[in-house]
Homo-oligomer: A and B are copies of this chain.
Amino acid sequence: MTTDTITSFTNTTVKLLRSLHDKKARQNDGLFLAEGMRVVTEAIDAGIYPIILAHGVSVRTHPVLQRLVDATLGSGGRVIETNDDVLAKIARKDNPQMVVAAFPMRSLTLNALDRTAMNIVLVLEGLKDPGNLGTILRTGDAVAASAVILIDQCCDPFSTEAVRASMGALFTQKLAHASWVEFEPWLRAAPAQLVGATLNTSHDYQAVAYKKPTFIFMGNEQSGLPPAYEQACDALVKIPMLGKADSLNVAISTAVLAYEVVNQQRGQTIV
């Protein structure tokens, strides 16, 4: 197979790529969009190959692109070369990246996660903002989270906004979906410390000894964790807030808490 050159907005492959901004289309086709040479390279390095790779004429001879094209074609995918206008339509923004690719959506069940070697797991309940979710996935990569688990109804991690904010971490993180009734018995079937972040405690987040594996449990942006879920936690902690608002963005809270766990786990090795 070789590269097709396409310049029409109404070409069926272009239409398919453009449709992937919509959740229903993603679910129908089982595909989602990721943009940029660096992100697509990370996907391929993680063993996830594009079903469709679209690129601009201007990067045709770029050595990195050639690798992406070879990997796509070599795994049975399709490559199209197109112009900036079509790329802007696909990306739904001006100044689009010169590489856009459609990847298969994948999400794990809890039983697919290996419980034997976990350090930190990020558990998110009812998260609504895809930018927050993507940013948390990116933080998950930085703290080497063993998994990111979405509980109940969360926003779609495969939305364009979430994928953009994740900066490729969607491909390197183990992402699982579960309901609370699936999650709780699974959690308790092996050692785990479930730590809920909440404003409903005065327990300082630095006063807890985090044990491997620590499951950091974060609730919805507006309402936080439901009371019943808080009661199921082994510890409830609060990040001190010294200002007027007593509020932090949920992706910020997740990171501050996750780095405390990392710092305790890496112990006295800091020079």
Residues from chain B with Cβ under 8 Å of A46 in the complex: 244
Of residues 137 through 173 on chain A, the ones whose CB sits less than 8 Å from some CB of chain B are 138-144, 165, 167-169, 172
Say if the beta carbon of A101 comes within 8 Å of chain B: no
Select which of B169, B204, B241, B245 is within 8 A of A243 by beta carbon: B169
Of residues 234 through 263 on chain A, the ones whose CB sits less than 8 Å from some CB of chain B are 239-249, 251-252, 255-256, 259, 262-263
Residue of A131, A172, A204, A255 most packed against chain B (CB within 10 A): A255
Q: Which residue of B lies closest to A204 (CB)?
A: B270
Select which of B131, B139, B241 is within 8 A of A248 by beta carbon: B139
Of residues 35 through 70 on chain A, the ones whose CB sits less than 8 Å from some CB of chain B are 42, 45-46
Q: How far is the CB of A218 from chain B (nearest CB, A)?
A: 14
Once the chains bind, are B138 and A247 in contact (CB under 8 Å)?
Answer: yes
A56–B54 alpha-carbon span in the complex (Å)? 46
Once the chains bind, are B139 and A244 in contact (CB under 8 Å)?
Answer: no
Q: How far is the CB of A228 from chain B (nearest CB, A)?
A: 26
Say if the beta carbon of A214 comes within 8 Å of chain B: no
Once the chains bind, are B262 and A259 in contact (CB under 8 Å)?
Answer: no
Say if the beta carbon of A72 comes within 8 Å of chain B: no
Select which of B168, B248, B262, B270 is within 8 A of A245 by beta carbon: B168
Say if the beta carbon of A207 comes within 8 Å of chain B: yes
| Interface residue tally for chain A (C-beta within 8 Å) | 41
Once the chains bind, are A271 and B207 in contact (CB under 8 Å)?
Answer: yes
Say if the beta carbon of A266 comes within 8 Å of chain B: yes
Say if the beta carbon of A135 comes within 8 Å of chain B: yes
Say if the beta carbon of A206 comes within 8 Å of chain B: yes
Once the chains bind, are B138 and A248 in contact (CB under 8 Å)?
Answer: yes
Select which of B135, B144, B239, B242 is within 8 A of A252 by beta carbon: B135
A152–B1 alpha-carbon span in the complex (Å)? 50
18 more contacts with CB within 8 A, not counting A169-B243, A206-B263, are A42-B244, A45-B244, A135-B251, A135-B252, A138-B252, A167-B245, A167-B249, A168-B245, A204-B271, A207-B270, A207-B271, A240-B262, A242-B262, A248-B255, A251-B252, A252-B252, A255-B255, A256-B256
20 contacts between A and B (CB under 8 A): A42-B245, A138-B248, A139-B248, A139-B252, A140-B243, A141-B244, A142-B242, A142-B247, A144-B242, A167-B249, A169-B243, A172-B243, A172-B245, A204-B271, A239-B259, A242-B262, A249-B251, A252-B252, A252-B255, A255-B256
